[in-house]
């Protein structure tokens, strides 16, 4: 090779080496903060911080719990991983949490926007606007519903105002869980226009504001009203627990009723009950799920209910569920009104009613080698420790065999079939679940991570007690 060619090759090599060595480092993305935003003084609050680094560098976090005070930089965690911290605010007040991130080359982000945290005793939120008929007839009982959220997830009692001057209220109802649906019946004796509202109070006596009013027009009964069926309800029809019973109310007397069913995944309703004269109908859907409504037939006119009811289970997408000794809240719970899933800590008896199952290796730490779905009422004896004795709910599990699919009907509950725990092996694993209040659910365990102490689980929750249908 000529001298000039050797020099040119060396120059190219030098340029490539310089370019590689001078690659620009980028700061991490702005961190995210997740955690409880309302609590009482002295409560231990858990917050999760995460960010990603464009260069894949590990990152650390600095957290400001109160204005002007910040933590030291945290230990390094992988890009995209969560870092968890707990904090206790001893005094009532409003606090603003913010964080920033730094990579291994000391490039930092700016401070995040603040996450507001309220500490103190709080009244319930105002109930949602009452739901129910806006047109009524004198002398007929009607049902109205509402729900209330409590900032601290406390149970609440609800009272309705019926609109006929001061004192025209229902009694305070029984305590119901935060955000649970509550209903009350009322019969108007005089025609007119009324404004129905609701309010709530908790066990400490704190009352919410009144809700937004629902305007209701009450008329006298003239002729034969041609109303639609209302107040539709679905229950499992005993003893099959795979057929359903639909009931309804109506304010008139039609010739007959027609029950309509729309199978999940389809767009049209089929008539499944003809010439029905009673206010109920038992339907065998052949293990299928879907939506129901009812039509009232008056000679040649058909009036269909505006309400629908469904047997389709509530889906909850894949999420990381910590092992009992892992990082974060380990208790998995389904809301009985919506079917939505939430995680709660198991280190306090305040959450005994908010755990349906947890994941454990039945040993200290979370190294396995096996993980199980387990009943909360066994947790206080779990070798992993940390769960105080108390009235934790009992849940039973049944492993599904290899022929089962996510849409298969779940096994009927029997003590010989369901157990207090279920081994999570041969992943992905399908597990049937039967809760303390006779609800069925399906768990799909996608994988387990023995290094980080967590399992990736999605679920489907059947809101109708004792109904084994899980098709979705």
Q: For tokens 């499944």, what's the residue?
A: 272
Residue 113 within any structural domain of the chain: yes
pLDDT at 434 over 60: yes
Are both 305 and 318 inside the same structural domain? no
Are both 299 and 325 inside the same structural domain? no
Write out pLDDT tens, residues 77-126.
Answer: 999 999 999 999 988 888 999 999 999 999 999 999 999 998 888 889 99
Single out the residue of 174, 188, 179 nearest to residue 146, CA to CA. Answer: 179
Residue 467 within any structural domain of the chain: no
pLDDT at 20 over 80: no
Write out pLDDT tens, residues 406-432.
Answer: 999 999 999 999 999 999 998 999 999
Are both 451 and 337 inside the same structural domain? yes
**What is the distance between the alpha carbons of residues 358 and 325, in angstroms, rounded to a whole number?**
11
- pLDDT class of 463 with cuts at 50, 70, 90: very high
- Would you state the pLDDT for residue 112? 92
- pLDDT class of 392 with cuts at 50, 70, 90: very high
Helical residues (DSSP H) of 227-331, grouped into ranges: none
Residues with Cβ within 8 Å of 18's Cβ and at least 6 positions away in sequence, in order, are none
Are both 339 and 420 inside the same structural domain? yes
Report the CATH number at residue 207: 2.60.40.10
**pLDDT over 90, % of the chain:** 64
Mean pLDDT over each residue of the chain, to the nearest integer: 89
Residue 83 within any structural domain of the chain: yes
Last residue of a domain, one of 219, 254, 277: 219
Q: For tokens 């107040």, what's the residue?
A: 231
Residue 124 within any structural domain of the chain: no
Residue 17 within any structural domain of the chain: no
Q: What does the pLDDT average to over 199-223?
A: 86
Residue 298 within any structural domain of the chain: yes
Angle at 62 between CA 36 and CA 119, to 5 degrees: 30
Residue 1 within any structural domain of the chain: no
Are both 163 and 209 inside the same structural domain? yes
Please give the C-alpha separations between residue 279 and each of 222, 251, 257, 282, in angstroms, as whole numbers.
Answer: 23, 12, 8, 11
Q: Give the total residue count for the chain.
A: 472
Q: What is the DSSP string of 120-133?
A: S--PPPPPPPPBS-
Structural domain that includes position 103: 32-119
- Would you state the pLDDT for residue 268? 83
Are both 323 and 423 inside the same structural domain? yes
Are both 244 and 383 inside the same structural domain? no
* Residues 303 and 224: beta-carbon distance below 8 Å: no
Are both 329 and 439 inside the same structural domain? yes
pLDDT at 71 over 70: yes
* Residues 379 and 358: beta-carbon distance below 8 Å: yes
Structure token digits, residue 73: 């930089």
| Element housing 4 (H / E) | helix 3-21
Residues with Cβ within 8 Å of 123's Cβ and at least 6 positions away in sequence, in order, are 201, 202, 206, 207, 208
Write out pLDDT tens, residues 157-178.
Answer: 999 999 988 888 988 988 889 9
Q: How many CB atoms lie within 10 A of CB 225?
A: 15
Are both 421 and 324 inside the same structural domain? yes
Single out the residue of 122, 95, 118 nearest to residue 178, CA to CA. Answer: 122
* Residues 191 and 162: beta-carbon distance below 8 Å: no
Are both 213 and 249 inside the same structural domain? no
Are both 165 and 253 inside the same structural domain? no
Are both 141 and 71 inside the same structural domain? no
Write out pLDDT tens, residues 339-353.
Answer: 999 999 999 999 999
Please give the tally of structural domains in the chain: 4
Last residue of a domain, one of 219, 242, 260: 219
Write out pLDDT tens, residues 246-260.
Answer: 999 998 888 889 899
- Would you state the pLDDT for residue 17? 44
- pLDDT class of 6 with cuts at 50, 70, 90: low
Residue 376 within any structural domain of the chain: yes
- Would you state the pLDDT for residue 34? 92
Question: Coil, strand, or helix at residue 467?
Answer: coil
Last residue of a domain, one of 175, 192, 219: 219
Q: Which of 23-32, 65-74, 261-270, 440-449 has the highest mean pLDDT?
A: 440-449
Residues with Cβ within 8 Å of 146's Cβ and at least 6 positions away in sequence, in order, are 127, 128, 129, 130, 131, 158, 160, 181, 182, 183, 198, 211
**Chain CA centroid to CA 189, Å:** 40
């Amino acid at each position: 090779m000529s001298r000039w060619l050797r020099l040119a090759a060396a120059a190219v090599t030098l340029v490539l080496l310089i370019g590689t060595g001078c690659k620009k480092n980028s700061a991490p993305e702005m961190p995210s903060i997740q955690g409880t935003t309302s609590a009482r003084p002295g409560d231990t609050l858990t917050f999760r911080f995460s960010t990603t680094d464009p260069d894949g560098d590990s990152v650390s976090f600095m957290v400001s719990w109160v204005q002007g005070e910040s933590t030291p930089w945290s230990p390094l965690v992988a890009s995209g991983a969560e870092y968890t911290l707990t904090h206790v605010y001893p005094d009532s007040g409003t606090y603003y949490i913010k964080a920033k991130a730094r990579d291994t080359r000391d490039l930092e982000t700016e401070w995040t926007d603040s996450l507001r945290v309220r500490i103190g005793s709080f009244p319930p939120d105002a109930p949602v606007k009452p739901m129910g008929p806006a047109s009524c007839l004198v002398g007929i009982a009607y049902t109205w519903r509402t729900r209330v959220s409590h900032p601290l997830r406390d149970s609440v009692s609800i009272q309705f105002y019926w609109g006929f001057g001061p004192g025209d209220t229902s009694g305070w109802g029984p305590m119901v869980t935060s955000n649970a649906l509550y209903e009350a019946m009322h019969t108007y004796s005089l025609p007119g226009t009324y404004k129905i509202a609701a309010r709530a109070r908790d066990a400490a006596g704190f009352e919410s504001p009144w809700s937004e009013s629902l305007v209701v027009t009450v008329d006298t009964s003239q002729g034969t009203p041609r109303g639609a069926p209302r107040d539709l309800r679905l229950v499992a029809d005993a003893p099959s627990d795979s057929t359903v019973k639909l009931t309804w109310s109506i304010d008139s007397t039609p010739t007959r009723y027609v029950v309509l069913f729309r199978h999940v995944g389809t767009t049209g309703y089929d008539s499944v009950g003809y010439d029905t004269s009673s206010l109920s109908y038992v339907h065998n859907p052949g293990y299928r799920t879907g939506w129901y409504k009812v039509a009232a037939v008056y000679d040649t006119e058909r009036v269909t209910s505006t309400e629908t009811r469904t047997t389709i289970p509530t889906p909850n997408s894949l999420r990381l569920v910590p092992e009992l000794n892992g990082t974060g809240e380990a208790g998995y719970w389904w809301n009985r009104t919506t079917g939505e899933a939430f995680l709660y800590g198991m280190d306090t008896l305040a959450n005994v009613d908010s755990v349906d199952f947890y994941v454990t290796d039945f040993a200290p730490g979370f190294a396995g080698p096996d993980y199980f779905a387990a009943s909360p009422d066994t947790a206080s004896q779990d070798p992993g420790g940390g769960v105080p004795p108390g009235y934790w709910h009992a849940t039973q599990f049944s492993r599904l065999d290899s022929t089962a699919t996510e849409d298969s009907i779940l096994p009927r509950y029997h003590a010989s079939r369901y157990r207090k725990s279920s081994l999570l092996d041969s992943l992905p694993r399908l597990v049937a679940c039967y809760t303390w209040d006779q609800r069925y659910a399906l768990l799909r365990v996608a994988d387990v991570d023995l290094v980080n102490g967590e399992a990736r689980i999605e679920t489907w929750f059947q809101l109708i007690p004792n109904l084994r249908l899980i098709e979705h």
